[in-house]
Structure 1
Amino acid sequence: MFSEKGLKANCFMWSIFFRILLQKYGFCLQRHVVWQQFGLFSVIFEHMKIKILFFFLYSAIAFGQDIRSIQLFNPQTNDETPVIGFSEVLILRFDDLSNSSAVYRYTIRHMDRYWKDDGLFFTEIATGSLNGQIDQMQYSFNTLQPYTHYTLTFPNDKMRPKISGNFELIVYKDSQSNPLFTRRFSMMEDGAIVGVNLNRTTDARRPEVNQRVEVQALGNSSALMQNTNSVSLTVVQNNNWNVAVYDKRPSSTLGNKLLFQQMDLSFPGNNEFYYFDNKNLSYAFDMVAGAETVENVNYTYLHPVWAFPLNYQYQPDVSGAYYFRRNDLGIERDADREADYSWVHFALDSERTEQDIHVLGGFNDFVATPENKMVYDENLKKYIAKIYLKQGFYNYILATKNTDGSLNFGKVNGNFWQTENLYQAYLYYKPFGRNYDGLLGYGEFRTPVR
């Protein structure tokens, strides 16, 4: 009915039309696509109309999800953990794939130790304006996917938290009640030195639990030791708030130390993260089986991974983090505006399971969504997923979703006590007369289990 040339000339109009199609039928269409070419995953279409249809389906996804590649990190340590003192700053970065010069704004709100809104007024938590504008932006250069890159340095002169604790950074366009995205961060007092240690453990009632955390907090004032009931500890694994133990009270004291040595301060070790590196989109690189560019769209095909049971195998990782990079023939480019986007194809060799499987990591904040849900291909006997990602180095893990909506990070990958994990201890303090949970200290532990 339409020529391929004519369709391409009306790309934007058709992308809107097929966006609607995708929302209604896209999931069903994906289930009938057969991927297999030279042992790699690639889409094979025998009819030109089908090829054009899926070209625009891909475009629709890109246009329909404009905000991508969100990062909030500490530039002083180049750390993916957004915890800072009052003299430090965080950097927020994200891309707008609409390639516009839209005005985005931000605000903050204070949260309690459970990451629930504690209802404090803005004037109680910060100085400056209630809303700020993200005014640092630059357009992409030399990329197939055009985008606008936004940067915010925070806190700043326009808005600065004045109390410690947990915060939510809210980014929006028209109304903060309709945010584009939110990110967690914490402001830390210099009230305690927090040390973390890790041991192997066994629990017959919970065989998946095999790593036990111990925490010592050295307070800077005698008032802390006199108000131990006002102190609570939260421990998180790998910046993944799905795997956390909340609100532990000191089990004992030793001089001016608070000790947290509870047996239930324990975690599943899970397994080392999978990873891939597609900093060069022209060649197969680390854990990349193949790469191609078709009709000005990049595709990255990863080697399939295998499900547990497997023996533990040590593999260094970055605890679920991700770093954008572009390297062309040994030349390192400015990843902020020169890193391109690619459809990354994930694959898991496995029999079908009743539970949903999701591709998760720091890059999507460990949040399970329809976009990162894997679909089973009966012909290939594999779970497959494709996600539109900015090129770089990524850690990821495969998680199953339980009937109650919680996530299991060990069923596919396995649980091993030897696994290296990042454990992060948040020490909160809410003495009598204070109406919020302040963050007294923070500590972390990255080394192997002894």
Structure 2
Amino acid sequence: MPLKFKQTIFFIFFPLVLLSQVEEINPPDHIKTINFKGDTPETQLPILKLGEYVVLEFDVLNGDEDDFYYKVEHFNADWTPSVLIKSEYMDGFDNQRIRNYENSFNTYQIYSHYKLTIPNTQTRRLKVSGNYMLSIFDNDDVLVFSRKFMIYEDTSNVGVIVKRSRDIGVIQEKQRIEIVIDSNTMQFNNPVQNVKTVIVQNNNLKTAISNIKPQYTIGNQLIYKYDTETSFWGGNEFLYFENKDVRAANTGIQSIDLKDLYHNYLYANLERANKPYTYNPDINGNYVILNLDAENPDIEADYVWMHFSLLPTESLKNKDIHIYGNFNNYAIDESTKMIFDESRNVYTNDMLLKQGFYNYKYIVVNSNKSIDEGFISGNFYQTENNYKVIVYYRDLGARYDKIIGLGEGSSINISN
């Protein structure tokens, strides 16, 4: 092939590679309990103010005390790579080894607990707001896993109100978000083009609604009063269990057993889609690592085989059912799949999890790979959900998308 023709193909396809959206990479089986947070106790989706710390913790269950390295990259609002070079968004260096780790103490399952805090002595400061990806590599420079986080500048006020849907067909099942954005310190230039809004339900980026444009403006206020465009299925309250003491049956646990590790058997769950809504406080899909009679749960909490079970119904036949929650960043894979046990007439799954308090629910994955969160749990407008609204702004001539504000609302006091 002539060199000129090869170069033409390269220049045609090279921009397409650059403009592809980045996705998070899930870890291998021997890496568990990825706890990613900012200054709030919520894990997995840190949204922090410029200058605050972000903390990543994870366990490696092979006992080899492996070396791991981290890299930080900056992205546009749509998660395509930004044009900023590293020195423009970072003061210091990345690609550094994670030096802070400890081995487990007094546990049946041996593991090493790693902890990374940014900023640190090597990565002294992240200088600009926007979308970031934190990637973890092994000693051979192979990507092990990655997680998204955001940094915002508190330069805009973001009001968030949760209301019932105005669509009579789904008024009992959906919640819609109304937003008001204003600022006393900046003027919005061409907001329909330059302002982008993302709405996140229960810290789950996979179901986020993105690129919402202002519906209309009043002075420097941006008003969003859509119906279908900003509506979410209400879902249902998460199920939960607690096993901070593995030697006794705690909340949601029917029985325990000790083999090579402790085994906890949960009570069988029922399909809730056709049952009336019942308020049952949860932590919106999150989890907390806890264990009784220990000073440091990071290294003293043990790993337990959790045995989930779901009673079958006619509507669940031949369905692809999975366990869903923030404990694995809402990932869907073979480890979360429920298997039908004909001998016991029940769907089951065995999952190795660290001691603590966990929220979870059962969802159905359709043939087109879309997720139906309400098929088993149901959708109810009364469900208490947390919503975060992230506001991006790129001014005329700017080279990256700033995050200029963060708003938060709850459907606990949902109105018409």
TM-score exceeds 0.5 = yes
The one-letter code of the counterpart of 2:42 is D
Counterpart check, 1:343 vs 2:308:
no
Counterpart check, 1:291 vs 2:291:
no
Where in structure 2 are the equivalents of 1:112-191 lying within 5 Å?
Answer: 112-118=76-82, 120-159=84-123, 160-176=125-141, 178-191=142-155
Distance in 2 (CA, whole Å) between partners of 1:370 and 1:207 is 35
**CA shift for structure 1 position 243:** 1.6
1:109 is matched with 73
Distance in 2 (CA, whole Å) between partners of 1:420 and 1:367 is 22
Where in structure 2 are the equivalents of 1:252-331 lying within 5 Å?
Answer: 252-263=216-227, 264-294=229-259, 296-307=260-271, 308-327=273-292, 331=293
**CA shift for structure 1 position 435:** 2.3
1:430 is matched with 394
Q: Which residue of 346, 349, 361 maps to 1:382?
A: 346
Distance in 2 (CA, whole Å) between partners of 1:113 and 1:309 is 39
Q: TM-score, normalised by structure 2?
A: 0.87
Query: In 2, are the aligned partners of 1:208 and 1:268 still within 8 Å (CA)?
Result: no
Query: In 1, are the aligned partners of 2:191 and 2:214 still within 8 Å (CA)?
Result: no
Secondary structure of the corresponding residue to residue 377 of structure 2:
coil
Counterpart check, 1:78 vs 2:38:
no
2:184 is matched with 220
Distance in 1 (CA, whole Å) between partners of 2:236 and 2:195 is 32
Distance in 2 (CA, whole Å) between partners of 1:447 and 1:404 is 30
Where in structure 2 are the equivalents of 1:197-236 lying within 5 Å?
Answer: 197-203=161-167, 210-224=174-188, 227-236=191-200
The one-letter code of the counterpart of 1:395 is N
**CA shift for structure 1 position 126:** 1.6
Deviates more, 1:388-397 or 1:120-129: 120-129
**CA shift for structure 1 position 204:** 5.3
Distance in 2 (CA, whole Å) between partners of 1:222 and 1:68 is 43
Counterpart check, 1:407 vs 2:371:
yes
Query: In 2, are the aligned partners of 1:202 and 1:210 still within 8 Å (CA)?
Result: no
**CA shift for structure 1 position 260:** 1.3
Distance in 2 (CA, whole Å) between partners of 1:393 and 1:408 is 24
TM-aligned CA distance change 1:434 to 1:182, over 3 Å:
same
- Number of corresponding residues: 381
Distance in 1 (CA, whole Å) between partners of 2:362 and 2:205 is 16
**CA shift for structure 1 position 130:** 3.4
**CA shift for structure 1 position 311:** 1.0
Structure 1: stretches of 5+ with no match in the other structure = 1-63
The one-letter code of the counterpart of 1:356 is D
Report Cα offsets for 1:67-114 as digits up to 9, x if no partner: 11100112x332334011122101111111112221111001122223
Query: In 2, are the aligned partners of 1:202 and 1:209 still within 8 Å (CA)?
Result: no
**CA shift for structure 1 position 446:** 2.6
Query: In 2, are the aligned partners of 1:227 and 1:431 still within 8 Å (CA)?
Result: no
Report Cα offsets for 1:290-349 as digits up to 9, x if no partner: 11111x31101111111121111100010111011111xxx3441100000011011111
Report Cα offsets for 1:217-270 as digits up to 9, x if no partner: 121334226545310111011011222111011112233321111112100000
2:159 is matched with 195
**Aligned Cα root-mean-square deviation (Å):** 1.8
Q: TM-score, normalised by structure 1?
A: 0.81
Secondary structure of the corresponding residue to residue 363 of structure 1:
helix
**CA shift for structure 1 position 210:** 1.2
Distance in 2 (CA, whole Å) between partners of 1:214 and 1:354 is 38
**Quick one: higher RCO (CA 8 Å, sep 6+), 1 or 2?**
2
Distance in 2 (CA, whole Å) between partners of 1:403 and 1:98 is 35
Secondary structure of the corresponding residue to residue 101 of structure 2:
strand
Query: In 2, are the aligned partners of 1:325 and 1:333 still within 8 Å (CA)?
Result: no
Report Cα offsets for 1:342-380 as digits up to 9, x if no partner: 110111112343331111111110010101111111232
